[in-house]
Amino acid sequence: MGIKIMVKCDEATSICDKNQYKEASFFDKVRLSIHNFLCHRCRLYTKQNAIITKIITAHNHKEKDLKLDLKEKEKLQKALDNELKKMNN
């Protein structure tokens, strides 16, 4: 069969990263499991990567609503006015 089963560390960790978003394919997950069985570093990576994912989901991000301050808006307005003037000339 032409299916590649053995992957290297960079591929295994890439699969692990994709898997954090549940977007790794079934075969990729098989490849990762086999690789991790043999490789303690990638096993560690998988564990720590999951921790990073957990930290992010645990601290549900609140969307910050940013506003431009008045100065910024004045600057923008000036740039806009200048351009309008040029166009009207």
Partner 1 sequence: MSEQTKHTLNPNKWIDLHSDYMFNYTISRVSNQDVAKDLVQETFLASLKAMGNFKGQASERTWLISILKRKIVDHYRKSNSIKGKSEVRMSFYEDGENNGKWIEERAPSPWDDADASIENEELKSALDYCIDNLPEKYKSVFILKTIKNYETESICNDLGISSSNLWVIIHRARVQLRECLEGNWFNK
Work out how close the CB of 88 gets to partner 1 at its nearest, in angstroms, rounded to a whole number.
11
Work out how close the CB of 26 gets to partner 1 at its nearest, in angstroms, rounded to a whole number.
17
Sites of contact with partner 1 (CB under 8 A): 8-11, 13-14, 17-18, 20-21, 23, 41-42, 44-45, 47-49, 51-56, 58-59, 61, 65-68, 72-73, 75-77, 79-80, 83-84, 87
C-alpha pair distances (Å), 75 with each of 7, 79, 81, 88, 89: 54, 6, 10, 20, 22
Answer positive or negative: Cα dihedral of 56, 61, 67, 69: negative
Three-class SS of residue 60? coil
Nearer to partner 1, 30 or 43 (CB): 43
